[in-house]
Amino acid sequence: MLGAASAGLLGFGSKTASATSLESSGDLDYPQEMKLALLRNYRTAKASSYDRTGGNRDSRQLQPGETLTLLKAEGPGIVTHIWFTIASKDPEHLKRLILRMYWDGETEPSVEVPVGDFFGLNLGEYFLYQSALLTVAPMKALNAYFPMPFRKSALITVTSESEEPVHAYYWNIDYQLLSSLPESAAYFHAQYRQAAPCPGLQTPEEKNLLGTNNYVFMEATGRGHLVGVTQGIVLNQKGWWGEGDDMLFVDGSKKPVTTGTGSEDYYNGAWGFGSQAFHYPYNGVPYVVNARIVGGRWCLYRWHLEAPLVFEKSIRFTIEHGTGNNRSDDFYSVAYWYQTEPHAKFPPLPPVSQRIPKGLLAGGASPVKGAEQ
């Protein structure tokens, strides 16, 4: 049985899910705790790296250039949980290992993201945090709870672009096998993007009404809904990096259909977060180092579980880098959404050498007066 939040992410309510074997009871007004007692109509399945001999060598090695198949399953079904932990001598392995997911035999992946970025570790460094959809637990335990439906097949792989072997890659992927899925069940997608640095303007666009030169989290065509983003930032200029407005374009709109009031506001914080780290179910800034100096590092996330950002034909989700795009910091991000297939081909991943955050002194206008509180 899917929880209400998971069913909402897929684009169908729990009553629809009930009619298609995701829920065995038609009475869905029970408290959440009571629903634990309701019988399920699925078969439990798991793909894992367990030792097939019965011993305790429960991991796989991953050589440079090699691809491991983590899940290969026939549907209908739903992936409900992914857990990884990795032992590698490469300090940059979170950026050098690429996670890909393919649904129903597609040749272009619906997910193509460095492993660390997928789990919100957008700067290639481990830290602990808890959110509704992603968690990182001690020690270096990576967890994802997005529901990922498939009708015919699911294929999940990891490919190494490291020059060092991964000595131990552990995984558990939990999924459910069902008799059917609702027609409205959309496919999970995740896309990596970066701008290192963002092209900061010497003359800020004080009236950037059309999102010109904004950082682009994602673009897609089809019908679906965006459920959130994770983002890493390395400061190339001193001071507060925020005050950038988020702007959403849908279905070919030339003007944003929604415009926010600043970066920290989009991530549901305020006043520059007080340069403090925090993590809540729907929003967080779990990683802050040297908050206002060159080389400072931030990681953030925002889940739109209360109201995913819906599109019927296309979507383009962006955010300014500083007021009027006046800053040249390094941005790394992942957008997570559901949509119908086929999806538009993703932009090529940047070369591995460019994915490693370095930070640099970059040009751009001085901070706008009044931007820092």
Residue 371 has pLDDT above 50, yes or no: no
Share of the chain above pLDDT 90, in %: 82
When pLDDT is averaged across residues 327-356 and rounded to a whole number, the result is 96
- Judge whether residue 333 has pLDDT over 70: yes
In this structure, the answer to whether residues 155 and 204 fall within a common structural domain is no
Residues 6+ apart with CB under 8 A from 321: 195, 198, 200, 214, 215, 241, 244, 327, 328, 329, 331
- pLDDT, residue 33, reads 79
Q: Is the pLDDT of residue 357 over 50?
A: yes
Would 349 be classed as within a structural domain? yes
Quote the mean pLDDT of the chain: 90
Domain end marker among 153, 177, 201: 177
Q: Is residue 88 part of a domain?
A: yes
At 13 the pLDDT is: 44
Tell me the one-letter amino acid at 218.
Answer: M
The answer to whether position 206 is within a domain reads yes
Q: Are residues 191 and 336 in the same domain?
A: yes
Domain assignment of residue 148, yes or no: yes
Q: What b/e string do you get for 210-234 counting C-beta neighbours within 10 Å, with b at 16 or more?
A: ebebbbbbbbbbbbbbbbbbbbbbb
pLDDT of residue 147: 98
Domain boundary among 126, 156, 177: 177
Query: Is 125 within the bounds of a domain?
Result: yes
Amino acid 9: pLDDT: 64
Asked whether residue 23 falls in the same domain as residue 171, the answer is yes
pLDDT confidence of 21, banded at 50, 70, 90? very low
Rounded mean pLDDT of 331-343?
97
Query: Which CATH number goes with the domain that contains 117?
Result: 2.60.120.1390
Per-residue pLDDT band at 32 (split at 50, 70, 90): confident
Looking at residue 59, its pLDDT comes to 97
Say whether both 218 and 92 belong to one domain: no
Same domain, 150 and 230: no
239: left (phi over 0), alpha (psi -120 to 50) or beta: left
Tokens standing for residue 48: 């894992």
pLDDT digits (tens, 9 = 90+) for 143-183: 999 999 999 999 999 999 999 999 999 999 999 999 999 99
The verdict on 140 and 197 lying in the same domain is: no
Residues ≥6 apart with Cβ < 8 Å to 29: none
In the numeric block, which tokens belong to residue 285? Answer: 């800034």
Say whether both 35 and 158 belong to one domain.
yes
Cβ pair 223, 313 in contact under 8 A: yes
Domain count within the chain: 2
Summarised one tens digit per residue, pLDDT across range 173-232 is 999 999 999 999 999 999 999 999 999 887 765 688 999 999 999 999 999 999 999 999
Whether 191 and 172 share a structural domain: no
Are residues 241 and 277 part of one domain? yes
- Answer with the one of 177, 195, 217 that is the final residue of a domain: 177
Q: Buried (b) or exposed (e) across 303-334, using 16+ Cβ within 10 A? A: bbbeebbebeebbbbbbbbbbbbbbbbbbbbb
Residues 206 and 341 in one domain: yes
Q: Is 140 left (phi over 0), alpha (psi -120 to 50) or beta?
A: left
Q: What is the pLDDT of residue 360?
A: 62
Query: Which range marks the domain in which residue 84 is found?
Result: 4-177
Question: For 234-290, what is each residue's pLDDT tens digit?
Answer: 999 999 999 999 999 999 999 999 999 999 999 999 999 999 999 999 999 999 999
Dist CA 258 CA 253 (whole Å)? 11
Name the pLDDT band for 19 (thresholds 50, 70, 90): very low
In a shared domain, residues 172 and 318: no
The reply to whether 134 and 275 lie within a common domain is no
Residues in the chain: 373
Confidence of residue 6 (pLDDT cuts 50, 70, 90): low
